[in-house]
Structure 1
Amino acid sequence: MFITRTRSIVALAAVAAASLAGCGDADTGHTTEHGTSTTTSAVTSAPARAEHNDADVMFLQMMYPHHAQAVEMAQLVPSRTDNPRLRTLAAQVEQAQAPEMQQITTLLQSFGKPAPSASEGHEGHAMPGVMSAEQMAALRAASGPDFDRQWLTMMIEHHAGAIAMSETELAEGGNADAKALAAAIIAAQRAEIEQMQTMLGQR
């Protein structure tokens, strides 16, 4: 009788141990599954590094050649006029827009887009404020006060076009960095338009 009872106790203990082991496995599995789910959720919910939309891409792809033409116009100034105010302004335009072109390249690459072209868009896209080949030829051929007048008139129009493009980006874009660039362009180029209008005697 004692042996039988002892065997029963041992058997019950074995069953209990097996049950506990089973619970432990189930808990471990749940924990692992929960941990995996949590990790996946964290990765999924994390914001994309280069979140953007089509408006951001269009803005950057068009603004790059737009800026490139402004830099080209600025580089014409030292050899065509002795006007110190215009020389200072041209240097200011180049110093502001050349780094922005690099920023545009970096943003487009982060979107998985190719590096932009300085010439793309001058003829193929309707970019507001871009000078035609004929206008640029006339500017290159001018000098002195005539050059000053043409340059200021053209750059005012050029800046107005950049502001219009930037306002569209602020309204329709989704990338924070692209929109910050648009806001900076608007602020800087509005101030320069006022300065150029004063130089032309329009204010």
Structure 2
Amino acid sequence: MFREVFVANVGDCRAVLSRKGKAVDMSRDHKPWCKQERLRIEALGGYIHDGYLNGQLGVTRAIGDWHIDGLKGAGCPLSGEPEVRRFLLSEDDEFLIIGCDGLWDVLSSNLAVEFARKRLQQHNDPARCCRELVAEALHRDSSDNLTVVIVCFQASPPPKFSSNLGVRKSISLQGLKDLQGALDSR
């Protein structure tokens, strides 16, 4: 059975998949520093100044922001056209996090997946996990808008990984001598 996901992205929101606990970016942020976006903008007569589209806007694609002078009309450098990607899901795919820039400004894709995965393992409640991600972003001083959606692809929580490595913690003989010396000198 094939399960497909289509991700349509405009602006600085992002979709991130958890695949066996690893973050997989399913979209690309449309920021002025992105080479493909910069080339598209320059081909349309626009420019990047000080990290901003035409010196005014921090994204290169947007559904809103049409009120900004010089960015509206046919052939303008600000595009409302989404970038669409199609993905086939596997049984290793656990959940998808969709969030706006307020989340991604303070959490990397990897940290967000790690955080959400732990919370889903604890309570398996996607709505609660969204609220916890927003709270974590606020705790990290996010200063932008915060919207988060989690789509789970399994009914059960993400599995905990077991390690068969049998890692042993030990201290060397020299380490023991150094520790004993430090304790004796007190």
Q: With structure 2 as the length reference, what TM-score do the two structures score?
A: 0.25
Q: Comparing both structures, which one devotes a greater share of its residues to strand?
A: 2
Q: Comparing both structures, which one devotes a greater share of its residues to helix?
A: 1
Q: With structure 1 as the length reference, what TM-score do the two structures score?
A: 0.23
- The structure with the larger Rg is 1
